[in-house]
């Protein structure tokens, strides 16, 4: 399984490199005095990558400077989610109101159409191979011929012997939406925050640039980036101070209730564990907990301090 995952990641790299080059070229073409809404561009960048890696579809956000209409409608609707996500029962109620979730419709339809069209192409290709007597390892060949995540998920769905296949077409459509949203929003938010800290802290920016020049250089590769510890520390420190998912996932207390640090919480109550509060707590991260200092992650004194930017335990995102 490990070899297959590594092979798939290698297949995605050309798409990622192409988009990174386009993103950096766009930034370098701007005047130093021109204001830039970086959150818009990191969003375009991340959706472009996940469109290619997830669906094999380029949204062309970076070259055009605009979001795909289906993605744009979804982003506008997510503003409401940011306000109401801590009241899950209200969101469930609104979902039942006709038209209340209308902004989701273009995105849902777009993803479902992409899955249908891709699956039809894959089935037709496999049928033609079978007629020519070339079936062989057709599922594996199809997966690697088009290096995107949905190709793997569709082929698993259509292979009864594959234990990773989802149980229904609706679940397959849901996977396509998760691939695009989960892989883009958090990446865009974190990248924008990294750039914010670099702009706010020129000394840290110069230090980071010198390390990147030395350890990665102009001809960057994934292997070089993966081996650069300081790059990993910058990302981790950004997620510590400004986690992309700030409120954590809501959980329900057991019927008998629960006592946390001497405080009793009744049963069947929704609770949130805020990673941003915990990760900025001086009890765990010292007196300089509120300062941006990537080097702290190379200091053994910070090892074991709570870090839950993407959850913990059973709720941990891979």
Extended beta strands in the chain, E state: 251-252, 258-260, 263-265, 270-271
CA distance 121 to 76: 32
DSSP assignment of 26-53 equals: HHHTS-TTS---HHHHHHHHHHHHHIII
Provide CB contacts within 8 A for 153, sequence distance 6+.
166, 172, 175, 176
For the purposes of burial, counting CB atoms within 10 Å of the CB of 82, is it exposed (0-12), middle (13-18) or buried (19 or more)?
Answer: exposed
φ, ψ of residue 172 in degrees (nearest 5): -65, -40
CA distance 80 to 148: 31
CA distance 249 to 228: 31
Burial 309-318 (b: 16+ CB within 10 A, else e): bbeeeeeeee
Per-run averaged pLDDT (10 residues), the chain, 318 residues:
58 84 87 82 92 88 86 70 67 68 75 88 75 52 61 87 86 88 86 95 97 91 90 95 81 92 92 87 92 88 78 63
SS (H, E, C) 186-208: HHHHHHHHHHHHHHHCHHHHHHH
CA distance 160 to 120: 17
Task: Give me the CATH topology for the region 2-200.
Answer: Cytochrome p450 (1.10.630)
What does the pLDDT read at residue 167? 87
CA distance 305 to 281: 10
- DSSP reduced 3-state for 300: helix
Query: Residue 89: which of 268, 308, 315 has the closest Cα?
Result: 268
The token pair at 143 is: 């997966």
What does the pLDDT read at residue 263? 93
Extents of the domains making up the chain: 2-200, 202-318
């Amino acid at each position: 399984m490990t070899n297959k995952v590594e092979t798939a990641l290698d297949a995605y790299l050309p798409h990622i490199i192409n988009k990174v080059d386009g993103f950096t070229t766009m930034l370098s073409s701007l005047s130093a005095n021109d204001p830039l809404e970086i959150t818009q561009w990191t969003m375009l960048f991340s959706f472009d990558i996940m469109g290619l890696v997830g669906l094999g579809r380029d949204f062309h956000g970076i070259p055009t400077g605009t979001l795909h209409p289906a993605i744009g409608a979804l982003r506008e609707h997510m503003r409401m989610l940011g306000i109401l996500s801590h009241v899950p029962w209200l969101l469930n109620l609104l979902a039942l109101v006709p038209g209340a979730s209308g902004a989701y419709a273009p995105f849902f339809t777009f993803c479902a159409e992409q899955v249908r069209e891709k699956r039809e192409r894959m089935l037709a290709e496999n049928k033609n191979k079978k007629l020519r007597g070339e079936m062989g390892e057709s599922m594996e060949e199809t997966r690697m011929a088009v290096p995107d995540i949905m190709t793997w998920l569709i082929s698993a769905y259509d292979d009864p012997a594959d234990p990773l296949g989802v149980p229904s077409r609706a679940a397959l459509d849901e996977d396509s939406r998760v691939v695009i949203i989960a892989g883009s929003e958090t990446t865009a938010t974190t990248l924008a925050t990294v750039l914010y800290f670099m702009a706010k802290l020129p000394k840290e920016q110069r230090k980071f640039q010198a390390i990147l020049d030395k350890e990665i250089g102009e001809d960057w590769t994934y292997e070089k980036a993966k081996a650069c510890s300081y790059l990993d520390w910058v990302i981790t420190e950004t997620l510590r101070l400004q986690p992309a998912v700030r409120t954590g996932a809501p959980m329900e207390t057991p019927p008998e209730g629960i006592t946390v640090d001497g405080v009793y919480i009744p049963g069947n109550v929704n609770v949130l564990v805020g990673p941003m509060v915990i990760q900025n707590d001086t009890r765990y991260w010292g007196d300089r907990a509120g300062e941006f200092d990537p080097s702290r992650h190379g200091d053994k004194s910070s090892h074991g301090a709570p870090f839950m930017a993407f959850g913990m335990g059973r709720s941990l995102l891979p």
